[in-house]
Amino acid sequence: MGVIRVDRVALRGLRARGHHGVFAREREEGQTFVVDVVLGLDTREAAAGDDLAKTVHYGVVAEEVVAVVEGEPVDLIETLAERIADQCLKHGGVQQVEVVVHKPEAPITVPFDDVTITITRSRV
Protein backbone atom coordinates (compact mmCIF):
# COMPACT_ATOMS: atom_id res chain seq x y z
CA MET A 1 0.00 0.00 0.00
CA GLY A 2 1.41 3.41 -0.99
CA VAL A 3 1.89 6.34 1.30
CA ILE A 4 -0.18 9.44 0.66
CA ARG A 5 1.98 12.52 0.99
CA VAL A 6 0.32 15.73 2.13
CA ASP A 7 2.39 18.81 2.87
CA ARG A 8 0.83 21.97 4.27
CA VAL A 9 0.87 25.56 3.12
CA ALA A 10 -0.76 27.89 5.67
CA LEU A 11 -2.13 31.39 5.36
CA ARG A 12 -2.99 32.88 8.73
CA GLY A 13 -4.82 36.04 9.66
CA LEU A 14 -6.27 37.03 6.29
CA ARG A 15 -8.52 40.01 6.99
CA ALA A 16 -11.48 41.27 5.01
CA ARG A 17 -14.67 43.21 5.60
CA GLY A 18 -17.83 41.27 4.98
CA HIS A 19 -21.55 41.72 5.50
CA HIS A 20 -22.34 38.25 6.85
CA GLY A 21 -24.74 37.50 9.69
CA VAL A 22 -28.36 37.00 10.53
CA PHE A 23 -28.97 40.48 11.96
CA ALA A 24 -29.77 43.53 9.86
CA ARG A 25 -26.99 45.55 11.51
CA GLU A 26 -24.41 42.97 10.45
CA ARG A 27 -25.65 43.07 6.88
CA GLU A 28 -25.79 46.87 6.73
CA GLU A 29 -22.62 47.87 8.59
CA GLY A 30 -20.44 44.84 7.93
CA GLN A 31 -17.53 43.74 10.09
CA THR A 32 -14.03 42.37 9.88
CA PHE A 33 -13.61 38.63 9.43
CA VAL A 34 -10.28 36.87 9.88
CA VAL A 35 -9.54 33.65 8.00
CA ASP A 36 -6.86 30.99 8.41
CA VAL A 37 -6.40 28.48 5.61
CA VAL A 38 -4.20 25.38 5.59
CA LEU A 39 -3.82 23.79 2.17
CA GLY A 40 -2.79 20.14 1.92
CA LEU A 41 -0.80 19.25 -1.19
CA ASP A 42 2.26 17.33 -2.32
CA THR A 43 5.08 19.84 -2.80
CA ARG A 44 7.85 17.43 -3.83
CA GLU A 45 7.63 18.10 -7.56
CA ALA A 46 7.62 21.88 -7.03
CA ALA A 47 10.62 21.65 -4.70
CA ALA A 48 12.56 19.36 -7.03
CA GLY A 49 12.21 21.77 -9.94
CA ASP A 50 11.95 24.99 -7.89
CA ASP A 51 8.81 25.62 -9.96
CA LEU A 52 5.87 27.74 -8.79
CA ALA A 53 3.67 26.19 -11.48
CA LYS A 54 3.94 22.81 -9.69
CA THR A 55 2.50 24.08 -6.41
CA VAL A 56 -0.25 26.42 -5.24
CA HIS A 57 0.32 30.16 -5.54
CA TYR A 58 -0.58 31.26 -2.02
CA GLY A 59 -0.80 34.92 -3.07
CA VAL A 60 -3.58 34.04 -5.49
CA VAL A 61 -5.31 31.91 -2.85
CA ALA A 62 -5.15 34.82 -0.38
CA GLU A 63 -6.80 37.16 -2.90
CA GLU A 64 -9.51 34.59 -3.63
CA VAL A 65 -10.28 34.08 0.07
CA VAL A 66 -10.61 37.83 0.60
CA ALA A 67 -12.90 38.05 -2.44
CA VAL A 68 -15.18 35.37 -0.97
CA VAL A 69 -15.37 37.23 2.37
CA GLU A 70 -16.05 40.53 0.62
CA GLY A 71 -18.55 38.87 -1.73
CA GLU A 72 -22.17 37.79 -1.48
CA PRO A 73 -23.43 37.94 2.12
CA VAL A 74 -24.55 34.78 3.91
CA ASP A 75 -26.24 34.28 7.27
CA LEU A 76 -23.82 31.78 8.79
CA ILE A 77 -20.05 31.67 9.14
CA GLU A 78 -20.42 27.95 8.47
CA THR A 79 -21.63 28.82 4.97
CA LEU A 80 -18.81 31.31 4.52
CA ALA A 81 -16.24 28.68 5.55
CA GLU A 82 -17.73 26.20 3.07
CA ARG A 83 -17.49 28.73 0.23
CA ILE A 84 -13.87 29.44 1.09
CA ALA A 85 -13.05 25.72 1.17
CA ASP A 86 -14.74 25.19 -2.20
CA GLN A 87 -12.67 28.00 -3.71
CA CYS A 88 -9.42 26.58 -2.34
CA LEU A 89 -10.18 23.10 -3.69
CA LYS A 90 -10.50 24.54 -7.20
CA HIS A 91 -6.70 24.63 -7.30
CA GLY A 92 -5.62 21.40 -8.95
CA GLY A 93 -2.86 20.38 -6.56
CA VAL A 94 -4.81 21.08 -3.38
CA GLN A 95 -5.98 17.75 -1.95
CA GLN A 96 -7.28 19.01 1.37
CA VAL A 97 -8.10 22.32 3.05
CA GLU A 98 -8.73 23.40 6.61
CA VAL A 99 -10.55 26.72 6.97
CA VAL A 100 -10.99 28.68 10.18
CA VAL A 101 -13.28 31.70 10.02
CA HIS A 102 -12.97 34.10 12.95
CA LYS A 103 -15.77 36.53 13.75
CA PRO A 104 -14.24 38.70 16.49
CA GLU A 105 -17.04 41.29 16.30
CA ALA A 106 -19.90 38.78 16.63
CA PRO A 107 -23.05 40.21 18.22
CA ILE A 108 -22.65 38.56 21.62
CA THR A 109 -23.83 40.32 24.78
CA VAL A 110 -21.07 39.04 27.10
CA PRO A 111 -17.30 39.67 26.97
CA PHE A 112 -15.48 37.31 24.55
CA ASP A 113 -12.31 37.12 22.50
CA ASP A 114 -13.44 35.40 19.32
CA VAL A 115 -15.98 33.14 17.64
CA THR A 116 -14.67 30.61 15.12
CA ILE A 117 -15.79 27.81 12.87
CA THR A 118 -13.25 25.25 11.67
CA ILE A 119 -13.95 22.92 8.76
CA THR A 120 -11.82 20.42 6.86
CA ARG A 121 -12.66 19.39 3.30
CA SER A 122 -10.85 17.15 0.85
CA ARG A 123 -11.13 15.81 -2.65
CA VAL A 124 -11.29 12.23 -1.41
Report, as residue numbers or ranges, the catalytic residues: 103
**Which DSSP letter does residue 101 get?**
E
Within 13 Å of residue 49, how many CA atoms lie on the same side as its CB?
A: 8
First to last CA, the chain: 17
